[in-house]
Amino acid sequence: MSKKTQIGEGAMVEYVTAMIGGQLFGLPISRVQDVFMPERVTRVPLSSHEIAGVLNLRGRIVTVVDMRARLGLPRDDDGKTPMAVGVDLRGESYGLLIDQIGEVLRLPEDGKEENPVNLDPRMAKLAGGVHRLEGQLMVVLDVDRVLELKTEVQMAA
């Protein structure tokens, strides 16, 4: 599902990087529709705490998912305006609320590893693997898992 490019011997995969709670995450660029600053998010009564609300983005109703809440992290009260990464799942639009957007990284597909056993379980349940970069670990977000788990939480409530 990720955008792949043949270069020399191995395929390359592109990721949009994002910071959430000081951790670097990567979203496959093929899943990212847009990046935006969420404005006028309307809270949805009785929704799970992971749903920040909904907003109108160029005529589309977008469900905004608070990724800090999804990962069990405390709210960020540093006053910075959060960003959102727009993704789709089965025709529905979602905005994943993140702390900061990064750059697009092109990494070798064969450099992606399984989740390490010592990866925080809150991250592991949403991760589709990791890439070891210079001095840090980039957790690859599995967009389907991020959004499917939300559905399970709502169904269990």
Whole-structure pTM value: 0.84
pLDDT digits (tens, 9 = 90+) for 136-157: 999 999 999 999 754 444 444 4
pLDDT digits (tens, 9 = 90+) for 30-75: 999 999 999 889 999 988 889 999 999 999 999 999 999 999 888 8
CA angle in degrees (0–180, nearest 5) for 73-79-44: 60
Per DSSP, what are the bridge partners of residue 55?
A: 62
